[in-house]
Amino acid sequence: MIDLHQEFIAIVKAFDRQGISYAVCGGMAMAAHGFPRATVDIDLLLPLDHLEQARSCLKQLGYGHESGWMAFAGGGVRIFRMVKLDPAAGDFLIVDLLTAADDLAGVWEQRQRQETPEGLIWLVSRSGLIAMKRGRGSKQDLADIEKLEGSADEH
């Protein structure tokens, strides 16, 4: 069985070692902002000019399957999906690479460094995460926005 947390740590450490700029977003970012919830993938925002290096790094970590480009939010958000398979366990893990261009350029500019038990990671800001989730607008995203905005009101 593929361990999501171990894979996450391995990826961000490898990206840091190789000088690949990134910012954690999605469910892992929710947890880093104090709202852990179930998630089944790893979402990373990165500059387009770091995509090839990120793909190469992920391939070295066993993410040998790629879906290619997908577009969301009317094409303003582009995602490149990579998948690691564990055939023996019948398991897989998805890493979505979102490019920090067009609709996400402002989110990228607000990324921040955060201390974790495993070391420093780059993370989208709370306001950046809200903006990303507004753009997608799924039920889960709307619930996440409510938590993020509610906690901001408490500070």
Instruction: Report if residue 152 sits inside a domain.
Output: no
Q: What parts of the chain have a pLDDT lower than 50?
A: 154-155
Instruction: Report if residue 154 sits inside a domain.
Output: no
Q: How many domains does the chain have?
A: 1
> At 139, which CATH number?
3.30.460.40
Q: Write the DSSP string, 56-120.
A: HHHHHTT--EEEEEEEEGGGTEEEEEEEEEETTTTEEEEEEEEESSGGGHHHHHT-EEEEETTEE
Range of the domain at 131: 4-145
Instruction: Report if residue 31 sits inside a domain.
Output: yes
pTM of the model: 0.90
